[in-house]
Amino acid sequence: MSQIELRTAPHVHAPRSVETIMFNVVLALLPLCFFSVWQYGLSSAVLILAVTATCLGVERVFSSQSGKGNTLGDWSATITGILLALTLPPNFPLWMGVVAGFAAMALGKAIFGGLGYNPFNPALVGRAFVQSAFPSTIASFIPAFAPQRFAEFSPSTLTMPLMIPTDNTAWIKAAGIDAFTGATPLARWKFENFTYTAHDFLSGAVTASAGETSAILILLCGAYLAVRRFMDWRIPVAVLGSAALVAWAFQLYNPAHFPSPLFVLLSGGLMLGAVFMATDMATSPVTPLGIWIYGALIGVLTIMIRYFGGLTEGVMYAILISNAASPLIEKFTQPRTYGARSKL
């Protein structure tokens, strides 16, 4: 005799969990890591490993302390670690990377209650902490494709804990690069009004943080996530679109001073931020209209900080501010319940 099984909806659901999504984000981040290692060599590789290991360790300690057991399996700490390392200069001292990883996980995530409860992107909290703690170190870079990059570390990488980073000048000179300014494209635009061409950016031959140089690679990895619907494509589109639009308007106003929208999109951490950080599910709105407002806010704030602020790069603070605004955005963009009267 056959039996009839009665169940409540939903009857069909996708076998998709937090772990699946997070694991795929890690997969999408791996090409960026490899590209960074290819560009900067050993220093970048150990930095990524050290920061990620710190994040995993801190997550492990806090999750078992709060009685949640082992939460490393959800991969979120791994993502935070890799992302954080990719936003730091490749020659960042390892001990400072450990500090950044600790700040990211403890200050950005654990004290709020762990995954899903954090109001701010943990990786950016970590970066913001070390940016305000070590402002000069985080603004010093090594050139990409130095010939000895696979043979030896940059001297500052191996600085003793708590000590001032070792000077990199001799190492850079040994790389055979005579005129290395150490300034990022954004800094050179801001202080020297010098703009790079798109070719410089696409080949990765600019001074930058470990993982923000290759726009094409970032877009490809983002596209993979978007196609498999592990990421909301509207957020990066809104961020990049609004940034390009505002930059275009400024350039129309004064072409001699303001750079082209293409320069704005390719320079600094805008691509990395738009694709991998603004899209953090815990810290972005879920309402359809709210997503567009949130993305646009990040784009506009980034341009405003870059053009008129004291810092050369504004993506980090733009995303953190928009994270803070996202509950408010959600509140104001609640969709109307079917059949209910519009409040306005």
Interface with another protein, residue 139, by CB under 8 A: no
Nearer to another protein, 160 or 328 (CB): 160
Interface with another protein, residue 165, by CB under 8 A: yes
Interface with another protein, residue 12, by CB under 8 A: no
Nearer to another protein, 164 or 286 (CB): 164
If phi > 0 it is left, if psi is from -120 to 50 it is alpha, else beta; for residue 229 that is left
Length of the chain in residues, anyone? 344
Interface with another protein, residue 157, by CB under 8 A: no
Binding segment for another protein (CB under 8 A), chosen from 24-32, 49-57, 158-166, 225-233, is 158-166
Nearer to another protein, 129 or 141 (CB): 129
Interface with another protein, residue 216, by CB under 8 A: no
Q: DSSP letter string over 314-336?
A: -HHHHHHHHHHHHHHHHHHTPPP
**237 neighbors 295 (Cβ within 8 angstroms):** yes
CA 207 to chain centre: 17
Nearer to another protein, 125 or 231 (CB): 125
Binding segment for another protein (CB under 8 A), chosen from 78-86, 130-138, 262-270, 302-310, is 130-138
CB of 159 to another protein, least distance (A): 8
Instruction: Tell me which amino acid residue 105 is.
Output: M
User: Alpha-carbon dihedral of residues 248, 254, 256, 259, nearest 10 degrees?
Assistant: -20
Interface with another protein, residue 67, by CB under 8 A: no
108 token code pair: 């950005």
**268 neighbors 303 (Cβ within 8 angstroms):** no
Interface with another protein, residue 311, by CB under 8 A: no
Secondary structure (3-state) at 226: helix
Question: Which of 319, 324, 342, 343 lies closest to 87, judged by CA?
Answer: 319
Among 12, 162, 179, 340, interactor with another protein by CB under 8 A: 162
Residue ranges in contact with another protein by CB under 8 A: 107, 111, 129, 132-135, 137, 160, 162-165
